[in-house]
Amino acid sequence: MSKYRVQAIIFVLVAFMLGCNEFIVVGILSDMAKSFGAPVATMGYLVTIFATTYAICTPFVTILTSKFSRYKTLLTLIVIFLIGNTLSGFATSFITMMLARMLTATVAGAIISLIMTFASAIAPRNKRASLVSWIFAGFSIASVFGVPLGTTISMTYGWRYTFFVISVITIITLVLLIFILPRNLEQVSSSVAGQLTLLKDRRIYIAVFLVLFTAAAMYGYYTYIRPLLTTALGFSTASLNWLLFIIGIMSIISNRLSGMLAEHRGLQVMPRFYVADIVLLMLLPMALASKPAGLAILLVLTLIITILNSPIQIHFLNLAEREYPQSIVLASSLNSIFFNFGISLGSATSSLMMANVGLKWISVGAAVFALISLVLAILLNRAVKRRKIAAGVIKQAA
């Protein structure tokens, strides 16, 4: 097996490790609530706190650590992640669990940003999009396989062992990274202001809002995926795990399709997918009257609603590499930062829709976010095209 393939597998393992840590809480909330003597609703705030800490801290950590060796920085951040995850397993109250989760969330975003940076550096140009899509797939694999496995471990041995297993995976990953990562990756040092220059570029700030509203469109309905399947469509609770497993498989396929699109001018065709998203989200309330129709729409939505992931990540990486080399790690983090902000916006909106118009109509709010995303995708393509034309004119003049 080639060195590049080994590196690629370990990068996906890092994403799997991070994904298990982030998502596992959902499957063991009830067990932790019993252990701490706290309401399940209170424990649910751990998900919100994690996402908020992740989104807020990631840009600060990436900017403040940019002047240090990326090799040493990544390994240091993984050690901090290991400490936070292990402390989660030893937590004795909601407060100590919250602090441990905040510690892991503080470094998780910077870890995946650095992994994306290493991936961009080591991958041949024609394989970059494929590797990025596989790294994103690592999170989906964690959701599909890691979370059910963690839930089983929690029910059999206790919830603390789910975190201990993740700690073992983290130690193995850390040792592998020590040996396979390039130690002297070329990097450009810059001030904080110099790194933030990236955000003034129209092709960047339109793109980050596109990521935000795409995530909001997804979580505008996905937040209530379980009630949609059981209460609205009438599937039995016994079949829920199988249905969620199928949806998870569709998510993995979506990541691979996203990588293929990134290799073939993905941003240019993205508006077509947003049109499809809008149509499907508007049809969903009527389709909920039929199990086959409702499930089919949910599966197709899972396949296409976040297909932006790889094209937009490659857009950020390529743009930073060409024009903002001092900001490449920050650029690598933009997708995950604003996706988490989008999750918060989408889940809050779906809760408002649920309270005011009912479960059946929550997808209408998601359709509004998909419409905003469509407009932003068109504007982004125009901005990219305009800059290419301007660059061509300057080159001819020279």
pLDDT at 391 over 70: no
Residue ending a domain, choose from 154, 186, 218: 186
Based on the domain organization, do 201 and 232 belong to the same domain? yes
Based on the domain organization, do 249 and 154 belong to the same domain? no
What is the extent of the structural domain holding 100?
1-186
Based on the domain organization, do 204 and 182 belong to the same domain? no
Q: Look at residue 72 in the predicted model and tell me its pLDDT.
A: 92
Summarised one tens digit per residue, pLDDT across range 28-80 is 877 888 899 888 767 877 877 888 898 889 988 988 888 888 899 999 999 99
Q: Provide the pLDDT confidence category of residue 231 given band limits of 50, 70 and 90.
A: confident
Based on the domain organization, do 48 and 154 belong to the same domain? yes
Q: What is the CATH number of the domain that holds 348?
A: 1.20.1250.20
Q: What integer is the mean pLDDT of 268-284? A: 96
Based on the domain organization, do 139 and 9 belong to the same domain? yes
Q: Residue 234 in contact with residue 364, Cβ under 8 Å?
A: no
Based on the domain organization, do 145 and 280 belong to the same domain? no
Rg value, the chain, Cα: 21
Take residue 16 and report the two structure tokens written for it.
């799997």
Residue ending a domain, choose from 169, 186, 203: 186
Summarised one tens digit per residue, pLDDT across range 182-202 is 887 776 666 777 788 888 899
Based on the domain organization, do 381 and 234 belong to the same domain? yes
| Domain total of the chain | 2
Based on the domain organization, do 367 and 299 belong to the same domain? yes
Based on the domain organization, do 276 and 349 belong to the same domain? yes
Residue position matching structure tokens 């508007």: 282
Q: Provide the pLDDT confidence category of residue 13 given band limits of 50, 70 and 90.
A: very high
Q: Provide the pLDDT confidence category of residue 327 given band limits of 50, 70 and 90.
A: confident
Based on the domain organization, do 245 and 389 belong to the same domain? yes
Summarised one tens digit per residue, pLDDT across range 278-299 is 999 999 999 999 999 999 999 9
pLDDT at 393 over 60: no
Residue ending a domain, choose from 136, 165, 186: 186
Based on the domain organization, do 239 and 105 belong to the same domain? no
Report the b/e string of 86-121 with b at 16+ CB within 10 A.
bbbbebeebeebbebbbbbbbbbbbbbbbbbbbbbb
Based on the domain organization, do 271 and 235 belong to the same domain? yes
